[in-house]
């Protein structure tokens, strides 16, 4: 498992920031992060809403394009250690210059330079610009404009994350239409905290992938629909267990969804928050469901097919898993 190549489609850039890295930035900037860390230096939070709060405290240490370049370098380095050959990162212009297009271009330029260097060493990546649901539809429009204006290269998609129970997916239709017209790939978080209707709402935005989506399992007609349409679920089992969406991995619906013909691909979401890594996710799936090389190859092939990259990259990735 350890050295096998992997595609990861659901990784929040700030959520992948190692605690030591964030402590270093806070010290440099003389920021007091208060209760962000526990006494062993790990991120501390109590439930999902508190997780979102701590996430934003972590983001407060990331203040310049250079900070984001260093973060991306640390994250892609770890992705490489875990065997990732292609990664899609959720990046939010709201955190990179407050949603302003000109500021975002500076952050993007700094990150693209790092992404190019890692691609040359075998860890290719793309960014999925992510609207933050609990900041509301007007702020999301700014992300959509950043995505539309800077899409086509490293910026390959747009997504929606944050508090899933705030508003309706259709509130974000303008932003998703804007991104679609700019030919970006589309994904949205749904069916992590809210039920099958949240997934139906996300599908109305025209997404080809769902972030999490695991509560589809409660609705057999929806499961059939996802399978028939080839909608891929970006599943993060360790995150779901850590946040208490499912009680343990054995109870996780990933295997039942895959058995029902739904395309699933495993990711780590926010690995240091959830004490996980890609290798750990694979190992735990192997232990819980008896998955081995054939299942992992299939999953990575689905991920390659659903990736928001150009066709040359897709074909190269697919060759790795066929
Ligand atoms: O597991 C998750 N579920 C929902 N939202 C998340 C998760 N992890 C991070 N974010 C949210 O994504 C945005 C940055 O990409 C942040 O708003 C963060 O709170």
Quote the ligand 1 centre to 52 CA distance (angstroms). Answer: 7
CATH number, domain 6-317, options 3.20.20.140, 1.20.120.530, 3.40.50.880, 3.60.10.10: 3.20.20.140
- Which pLDDT score is estimated for 90? 98
Catalytic option among 88, 192, 234, 281: 192
What pLDDT is recorded for position 197? Answer: 98
What is the spatial distance between Cα 292 and Cα 82, in angstroms, rounded to a whole number? 17
Residue in this structure with the two tokens 């062993």, named with its chain if needed:
40
Ligand 1 pocket mutation, candidates 11, 36, 53, 55, criterion most atoms within 8 A of CB: 55
**Mean pLDDT for the stretch of residues 110-121:** 98
Q: What is the pLDDT of residues 266-309, one digit of tens each?
A: 999 999 999 999 999 999 999 999 999 999 999 999 999 999 99
Ligand 1 centre distance from Cα of residue 170 (Å): 19
Given a cut of 70, whether residue 1 has pLDDT beyond it is no
- Pocket lining for ligand 1, CB < 6 angstroms: 12, 15, 52, 55, 90, 92, 130, 132, 161-162, 189, 192, 239, 269-270
Q: What is the mean pLDDT of residues 96-115?
A: 98
What rounded mean pLDDT belongs to the chain? 97
> 47-84: per-residue pLDDT in tens?
999 999 999 999 999 999 999 999 999 999 999 999 99
ipTM score for this prediction: 0.97
Residue 173: predicted pLDDT: 98
Distance 319 CA to ligand 1 centre (A): 31
- pLDDT score of 2 more than 50: no
Beta strands 263-266 and 84-91 are unpaired
The average pLDDT across 26-53 equals 95
Give me the residue spans of the domains in the chain.
6-317
Query: Is residue 320 flagged as an active site residue?
Result: no
**pLDDT at res. 31:** 96
Q: Output DSSP code: residue 214.
A: G
Looking at ligand 1, which atom is closest to the CA of residue 192? 3
Tokens 């959509």 correspond to what residue? Answer: 144
129 pLDDT tier (thresholds 50, 70, 90): very high
167-207 pLDDT tens trace:
999 999 999 999 999 999 999 999 999 999 999 999 999 99
- Of ligand 1's listed atoms, the one at least distance from the Cα of 270 is 8
What pLDDT does residue 34 have?
85
The CA distances from residue 96 to 142, 173, 308, in Å, are 12, 23, 22
CA distance to 21, 75, 259, per residue, from 14 (Å): 11, 9, 33
Asked whether the predicted pLDDT for residue 237 surpasses 70, the reply is yes
Q: What is the mean pLDDT of residues 131-149?
A: 98
What residues have CB less than 8 Å from 58, skipping those under 6 apart?
A: 14, 15, 17, 22, 33, 36, 43
Share of the chain above pLDDT 90, in %: 98
Residue 303 exposure: Cα atoms within 13 Å on the Cβ side: 27
């Amino acid at each position: 498992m350890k050295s096998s190549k992997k595609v990861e489609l659901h990784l929040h850039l700030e959520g992948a920031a190692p605690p030591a890295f964030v402590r270093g930035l806070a010290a440099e900037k003389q920021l007091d992060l208060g209760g962000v860390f526990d006494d062993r230096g790990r991120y501390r939070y109590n439930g999902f809403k508190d997780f979102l709060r701590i996430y934003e405290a972590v983001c407060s240490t990331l203040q310049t394009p250079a900070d984001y370049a260093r973060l991306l370098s640390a994250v892609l380095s770890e992705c490489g250690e875990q065997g990732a050959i292609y990664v899609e990162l959720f990046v939010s212009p709201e955190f990179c210059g407050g949603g302003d297009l000109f500021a975002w271009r500076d952050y993007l330029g700094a990150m693209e330079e790092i992404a190019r260097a890692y691609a040359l060493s075998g860890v290719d990546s793309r960014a999925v610009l992510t609207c933050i649901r609990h900041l509301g539809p007007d702020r999301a429009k700014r992300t959509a404009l950043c995505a539309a204006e800077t899409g086509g290269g490293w910026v390959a998609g747009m997504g929606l994350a944050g508090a899933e129970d705030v508003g309706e997916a259709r509130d974000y239709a303008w932003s998703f239409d804007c991104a679609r017209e700019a030919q970006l790939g589309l994904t949205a978080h749904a069916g992590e905290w809210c039920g099958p209707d949240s997934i139906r709402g996300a599908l109305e935005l025209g997404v080809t992938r769902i972030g999490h989506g695991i509560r589809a399992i409660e609705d057999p007609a929806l499961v059939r629909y996802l399978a028939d349409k080839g909608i891929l679920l970006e599943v993060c089992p360790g995150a779901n267990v850590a946040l208490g969406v499912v009680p343990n991995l054995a109870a996780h619906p990933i295997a039942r969804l895959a058995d029902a013909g739904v395309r699933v691909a495993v990711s780590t979401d926010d690995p240091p928050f959830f004490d996980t890594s890609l290798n750990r996710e694979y190992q735990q799936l192997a232990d819980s469901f008896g998955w081995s090389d054939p299942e992992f190859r299939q999953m990575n092939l689905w991920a390659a097919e659903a990736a928001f990259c150009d066709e040359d990259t897709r074909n190269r990735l697919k060759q790795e898993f066929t």
